[in-house]
Structure 1
Amino acid sequence: MRLLIALLTALFPVMASAAETPQTVDLTGSTVGILALCVFVIAYVLVVAEEWLHLRKSIPVLLGAVIIWTMIGATYASMGDTEIVHRTVQHSLIEFAELFLFLLVAMTYINTLDERGVFDALRGWLVSRGFSLRTLFWLTGLIAFFLSPIADNMTTALVMASVAIAVGAGHPRFVTVACINIVVAANSGGAWSPFGDITTLMVWQKGVFPAHEFLVLFVPALVSWIIPAAIMATQVPKATPEPLAVRPVVRFGGLVIIGMFIGTIALTVTLHAAFHLPPALGMMGGLGALMLMNYTLNRIGALHKDGEVHHQLIDQGGLSGAESSDPYQENKGPRLNTFNQVARSEWDTLLFFYGIIMCVGGLGTLGYLSVGSEMLYGELGPTVTNILMGVISAVIDNIPVMFAVLSMYPDMNDGQWLLVTLTAGIGGSLLAIGSAAGVAVMGTARGYYTFFGHLRWSWAIGLGYGAGIWTHFLLNG
């Protein structure tokens, strides 16, 4: 081990005085600091190029994280201190663990609702109403704006984009603008809820301000969506698609689980506000309740259908009830299995969050976040910097941007923290690759929703971005 440390130290010498304490060493100008920054940049370029390379976005950041922290560990070990690296890695791991557990439960609930046919029922209801394309354009956007604060912006965008594709057959121009509108609405809707976007969740879990303060961003977020939507609506064809014969059906227990999901969120907010308990604790309690409900629904369905099938088989002179392997599955759809829904979670996304948090945590340990905070918030000021952060988030995704801001933790009032929360949420709409919602819809609506198709309307989305910021200053200044 000492030989390995010596070799790594020779490869990555520290250009800082050994007399300084590890906590105050600035490694931004050292070889190890520059190499670590290069590793992060290369990893993130590979993330951005995922659509063309077909390389899972979690892979480069997972490898980048271990390379960065290995270099940091070797550097501090050569200075005779391994404790600070241990503590800082643990801090980043705790940050990720809280986010991971929260998201895992939320994804499991969403997957369970999807398995119970809740989202299919919503799609079926919309496409069987006989609405005009213009009405559907506004309805899908409105639902996306109000659904994303609960179901998160990516899931919401996927559900509503599938509606646009289903009803827009033969009207490709409608599908294109409808998908752009849905992505913008989902991102804007997620900005005024602590659960609507990963960035707002990180701000809330960090304890910057309580959950109810996000609600003051409702009107600015609404404005940021309404303006580009009104402009794009002029390009929607004046046509009414044929209503589809779709029967909306929510499977056994689906409505109960909707109530449980809302109750889990309420419990989480209450525990955090009243006792300052981590939000992940309340969400994990909700997961336990979902598992219990899973068991109860399966037992009720099986007992009810066992008797029903038994009588039917006797009347028909058929097989005995013992030979019916799963009557519940035959009559009520597939059995609920919470662990299957856990397995269906977006593991690539969850592991991507781990890699990003660890990489940014490593760059913070090297001193880059302190330098960035001084350059941006110290010289440009919080207002200009926070507006700029939204634009940057459209290029490199809002998650690492917000995590970097939270790691810097500049001295700002609540109005400025709300501003950066708003801009990181709605700024991702400026480009198709700027948000998880946009990237997800690009995969679902191939040929309709593209990077350049979205780019054509970036000017209108930019008008909404500016108007949303102006409204925030006007109302919450």
Structure 2
Amino acid sequence: MLQRTKPLSVLLTLIAVLFSPNLFASAGESMDLTSHGIGYAAILFFGIAYCLVMLEDVIHLRKSKPVLVAAGLIWAMIGFYYTQHGMNHDAEAAFRHNLLEYAELFFFLLVAMTYINAMEERQLFDSLRAWMVNKGFTLRLIFWLTGILAFFISPIADNLTTALLMCAIVMKVGGTNHKFIAIACINIVVAANAGGAFSPFGDITTLMVWQKGMVEFSTFFHLFVPSAVNYLVPAVIMSFFISKEVAAGDDEVVHMKRGAKRIVALFLMTISCAVLGHSFLGMPPVLGMMTGLGLLQFFAFFLRKTQKSYYESAVHNASDRVEHERLRDLGDGAPFDIFNKVAKAEWDTLLFFYGVVLCVGGLGFIGYLGMISEAMYTNWDATYANITVGVLSAIVDNIPVMFAVLSMQPDMSLGQWLLVTLTAGVGGSMLSIGSAAGVALMGQARGIYTFGAHIKWAPVIALGYAASIVTHLWINASFF
């Protein structure tokens, strides 16, 4: 018994000493914990968690798990220290502040994901894919079409969904032409990330900047030309390595299910509600998004109630036997269920986002973000600091990087906030692991689109990154 309890006693003693309020701080000092054992432990926990996140594809551990645990440990240590000093309400208020920031983004993203899943279930994206595959386009034209569509769809849908849709097209068209698939996937990743950079809805980082009030909705579109340059420079160079052979189709026909186009219209209406409510009523964008979710629920109710009568009538009026069978199968299928679409949201991503926001918020409350802000935005020129943010986002996920910058709130001009929005959005394209789109496509085109295949084109992508920054500094000079 003594042999079993002695190590535990030693461990508890070490923990008590390490987190002792008086170990590194004496009475009267500020609550800066950057030189305290709690601060060092928080950095260690976050570092371990993020290493596990980056190894997700190797160890097959979902990325939300380690950051959720790290967030709990960091705030538990903060709570312990502040309770010892009789300031537990300060720690509680800081935690609630970070939780509120996450809650607004959570519900916003949940609604957006629900709409995207609804469109997918109504076979909107499958219909687009089948149309492109069977048009008899050349491989080079497919390369350009998938890139351009990724660039223009990602500002409305999220860049991850857009990239997966376009990758499905090139996989179908490319067949055994692995060289085409690899280059086309790189093009899609760059295009999706670039397209998401000039819209508040295109990426989580742009959404964070908009909801924080750093950049107005309409001002984001001043990044359109720099984002286009970021995509076009590498795309033009890579296109010369794509052959002009005609792609083989498979004659697959996919029909959109009933209500698909109306769901698109509702999604656009929901976005309008979020934008107008924020611009004219001063309300958080999440209010408009949740209102739009209510509209989608009403439409789902309408589809369920009218499914039987609609398809009975359609089957009766079918022009041929094939159409008759198709409509009967659709009518016999499960009715549209809105909560099924909610359940299929990217919950791992949403929970990962919670962990990141709380971890970074905790590190900021300890004092580390103030130190980084001082080092980057006081000792460096803001332009160089924001360019560095983009490079970091190619190595570390851009969500914690951008949240850290927003938490620091450095005193910058509007032009600099636009610059960091651009660099954080497109910087991840330089490595395949630098964005959610790249990681997802490595899984979808496993063994074809790889880290090695992407890094071969990294100099070309970096050229586009540099060109987009120069373009922004030139055409948006009035914002600096």
TM-score tier, shorter chain, comes to over 0.9
Paired residues of 2:312 and 2:331 also in contact (CA < 8 A): no
Q: TM-score, normalised by structure 1?
A: 0.93
> Is the counterpart of residue 153 in structure 1 residue 159 in structure 2?
yes
1:354 is matched with 354
1:371 is matched with 371
Q: Choose from 89, 95, 103 the match for 1:97.
A: 103
Paired residues of 1:9 and 1:75 also in contact (CA < 8 A): no
Q: CA 1:308/1:275 → structure 2, altered by over 3 Å: closer, same or farther?
A: closer
> Is the counterpart of residue 68 in structure 1 residue 77 in structure 2?
no
**Paired AA for residue 452 in structure 1:** G
> Is the counterpart of residue 451 in structure 1 residue 451 in structure 2?
yes
Distance in 1 between residues matched to 2:136 and 2:334, nearest whole Å = 31
2:251 is matched with 245
2:463 is matched with 463
> Is the counterpart of residue 107 in structure 1 residue 107 in structure 2?
no
- 1:157-198 Cα offsets, whole Å, 9 max, x none, are 000000010000021100000000000000000000000000
Paired residues of 1:118 and 1:254 also in contact (CA < 8 A): yes
1:322 is matched with none
Q: CA 1:106/1:6 → structure 2, altered by over 3 Å: closer, same or farther?
A: farther
Q: Provide the aligned C-alpha RMSD in A.
A: 1.8
**Paired AA for residue 149 in structure 2:** I
Secondary structure of 1:460's counterpart equals helix
Distance in 1 between residues matched to 2:51 and 2:72, nearest whole Å = 17
- After TM superposition, list the pairs within 5 Å mapping 1:193-212 onto structure 2: 193-212=199-218
Q: CA 1:286/1:338 → structure 2, altered by over 3 Å: closer, same or farther?
A: same
Distance in 2 between residues matched to 1:386 and 1:439, nearest whole Å = 24
* Cα offset, 1:8, TM superposition: 5.9
* Cα offset, 1:244, TM superposition: 2.4
**Paired AA for residue 236 in structure 2:** A
2:142 is matched with 136
Distance in 1 between residues matched to 2:47 and 2:475, nearest whole Å = 38
Q: CA 1:275/1:239 → structure 2, altered by over 3 Å: closer, same or farther?
A: same
* Cα offset, 1:463, TM superposition: 0.1
Paired residues of 1:328 and 1:335 also in contact (CA < 8 A): no
Q: TM-score, normalised by structure 2?
A: 0.92
Distance in 1 between residues matched to 2:352 and 2:215, nearest whole Å = 26
> Is the counterpart of residue 119 in structure 1 residue 93 in structure 2?
no
1:13 is matched with 20
- After TM superposition, list the pairs within 5 Å mapping 1:314-329 onto structure 2: none
- 1:366-392 Cα offsets, whole Å, 9 max, x none, are 100000000110101211000000000
Distance in 1 between residues matched to 2:397 and 2:107, nearest whole Å = 22
Distance in 2 between residues matched to 1:349 and 1:111, nearest whole Å = 15
1:436 is matched with 436
* Cα offset, 1:7, TM superposition: 9.1
Distance in 2 between residues matched to 1:381 and 1:13, nearest whole Å = 39
Paired residues of 2:315 and 2:328 also in contact (CA < 8 A): no
2:331 is matched with 331
**Paired AA for residue 369 in structure 2:** L
Secondary structure of 1:380's counterpart equals coil
> Is the counterpart of residue 380 in structure 1 residue 389 in structure 2?
no
1:315 is matched with none
Distance in 2 between residues matched to 1:307 and 1:259, nearest whole Å = 25
Paired residues of 2:308 and 2:331 also in contact (CA < 8 A): no
Paired residues of 1:228 and 1:464 also in contact (CA < 8 A): yes
Paired residues of 2:209 and 2:406 also in contact (CA < 8 A): yes
Paired residues of 1:6 and 1:78 also in contact (CA < 8 A): no
1:182 is matched with 188
